[in-house]
Amino acid sequence: MLLSKLGELISEYQPSGTVLVIIGFVAVTHMCGINPDKLRWFLERSTHEVCGNSSRADVPPADFPSFTHIKHVAAPASKSYLHREIIAASLAGHELQLDITDLSDDILATYEAMVKLPNQPPRKNNVINRNASTPERFDIPSTAGHNGVVNRKGESERSGGSMCSRLIIDCKESGTTLRFLLPVVASLGVDAEFKLHGRLSDRPISELNEQLELHGMKITRDTPDSLRISGRLPNQRLQSGEFTFDSPQSSQFISGLLFALPLLESDSVIRIRGRFESKAYVRMTLSVLRRYGIDIRCTSASDEWIYTIPGNQRYVGKVGTVNALEIEGDWSNAAVLLAIGALSGEQLRVTNLPLRSEQGDRRILDLLKEFGIKLRCYPDAISTLNGTVDIYPSEGFKSIDAIDASDCPDLVPIIALLATQARGRTQIYGAKRARLKESDRLSGTCAVLTELGADISETSDGLVIMGTGILSGSYVGDGYGDHRIIMMLAAASLVSEQPVRIHGCRAVAKSYPDFFKVLGRLGFTTKVLSDDD
């Protein structure tokens, strides 16, 4: 059986002699229990690597330097996948255990909410390993390649609370927590109050609320920083039916409903017309749901997408622990690390990155290549999940005429920074949703880069950058309290001629609490400031 399977795969992929040697090794490991699908995946990726016929994995030309003593860093676990895995595992009735050493505020919000929901397992054994206590301010000297670190010491933290007549869910500033869990608590018939912090109360939610209200729910805003949801009748759950969106402002509305609707007694349909941005994140949701036994059918025609969701389904699965090693790496945060490698002019290796991924921010690989940055991608020999990206020193950046950021708005700050180092005009468009993030990310990015000396201007849905390769200014500020802008500013200090000083740096805990600690391991230096500095 094994030899027959090997014959089929070798015939299909026609690997080189080098890969055939590897096949022998993998075949032996297969006899010890390796899944044949891993062999198929590895053959496909290895063939692409050796033969150079894949647009997703680039073999460097002969003049690429070899990696000897190289700086390397592992990308953190994907925040997008962690949200989804926590929700699905909890709905499957698993004892939920997180073993993540870099747990962000957003993930903590979703975790604490899910363990409060009814019909969840006892929580006495639930574990969170979480870093905490980032100093609020630090100073990054302008020494071209040496920046700052703020250490975060580990601290175990759990949220308690028991069920009462009204469930209190603290979303912190997590839009994902709010948009995913509104439909979920509605499907469970839970009377809940969502606490909102920062700009979360201003971020789009009305389209989702409207659909929930059309299907039996009552939603009220007693205060700007809270939102209450309950059934129109006592103990009423969300009602099945057709949920319709015209060019939805967020794909998270769709994902939240996809988690909730399978739990209803009857079938439902989600119909989307017009522009549908960030579809990749809905595909990500569907991939997680499939792993937990949920059946959802998707069809599309012209500018309409239809999701058919059979009712009366149950979440099933064998995974009770959400572990960092089981979650693919995060492209959104890795984008900053890769940009740091490119801006530093040094070799950098970023591991734990899924070369095949539904994450929209995987687009950074294509953009780095368009900017003229030398890189190499290759899969892990055994893991089918993650791979490695090597960044090599490059001679000058190239401008990019037009960048459509409609499916990757989180990349806007770091793309804009890279564009300042490319001589010529780069335009970013399709990023109107970036104005609705933790800050108006278009305005904020434009302002901080202007202060650093960049020639940059706003459009209604993007930015125009006239790159000169020089940032002659300095910056003192809080990066608008936006974790993406703060991380971009840290990267900008690599090429700025004057110091960068950031206040309120703990904002990075929203997505990447260990960010400055990682920079320290890469050779950055910082001065931590007191409130009086």
Determine whether the annotation assigns residue 84 to a binding site: yes
210 CB contacts (<8 Å, ≥6 apart)? none
Determine whether the annotation assigns residue 79 to a binding site: yes
Determine whether the annotation assigns residue 514 to a binding site: no
Q: Show the 3-state SS of 377-396.
A: EEECCCCCCCEEEEECCCCC
> Exactly one of 106, 139, 170, 410 is catalytic; which is it?
410
Q: Show the 3-state SS of 165-225.
A: CCEEEECCCCHHHHHHHHHHHHHCCCCEEEECCHHHHHCCCHHHHHHHHHCCEEEECCCCC
Strands 217-220 and 242-246: unpaired
**410 annotated active-site:** yes
Determine whether the annotation assigns residue 199 to a binding site: no
- Alpha carbons 133 and 449: distance in angstroms, whole number: 28
Which residues, in sequence order, are bridge partners of residue 220?
Answer: 228
Which residues, in sequence order, are bridge partners of residue 72?
Answer: 349
DSSP state of 410: G
Rg (CA), the chain: 24
Determine whether the annotation assigns residue 484 to a binding site: yes
Determine whether the annotation assigns residue 330 to a binding site: no
- Going through 435-521 in order, the beta strands assigned E by DSSP cover 455-458, 463-467, 475-477, 500-503
Determine whether the annotation assigns residue 410 to a binding site: yes
- Positive or negative, the Cα torsion across 408, 413, 417, 423? positive
- Using DSSP's 3-state secondary structure scheme, residue 350 falls into strand
- Using DSSP's 3-state secondary structure scheme, residue 106 falls into helix
Determine whether the annotation assigns residue 80 to a binding site: yes
Q: CB of 423 within 8 A of CB of 462?
A: no
- Using DSSP's 3-state secondary structure scheme, residue 509 falls into helix
Determine whether the annotation assigns residue 510 to a binding site: yes
Q: Distances in Å between the alpha carbon of 266 and those of 187, 239, 307, 308, 313? A: 12, 8, 14, 11, 10
Determine whether the annotation assigns residue 5 to a binding site: no
Which residues, in sequence order, are bridge partners of residue 154?
Answer: 131
Which residues, in sequence order, are bridge partners of residue 391?
Answer: 348, 375
Any idea which residue has 């002699």 for tokens?
17
Helix (H) or strand (E) holding 397: strand 397-398
Q: Distances in Å between the alpha carbon of 374 and those of 31, 380, 465? A: 39, 20, 22
Determine whether the annotation assigns residue 16 to a binding site: no
Annotated binding-site ranges = 79-80, 84, 175, 203, 250-252, 278, 410, 437, 441, 484, 510
Annotated binding-site ranges for 3-phosphoshikimate = 79-80, 84, 250-252, 278, 410, 437
Annotated binding-site ranges for phosphoenolpyruvate = 79, 175, 203, 252, 441, 484, 510
Q: Catalytic positions, please?
A: 410
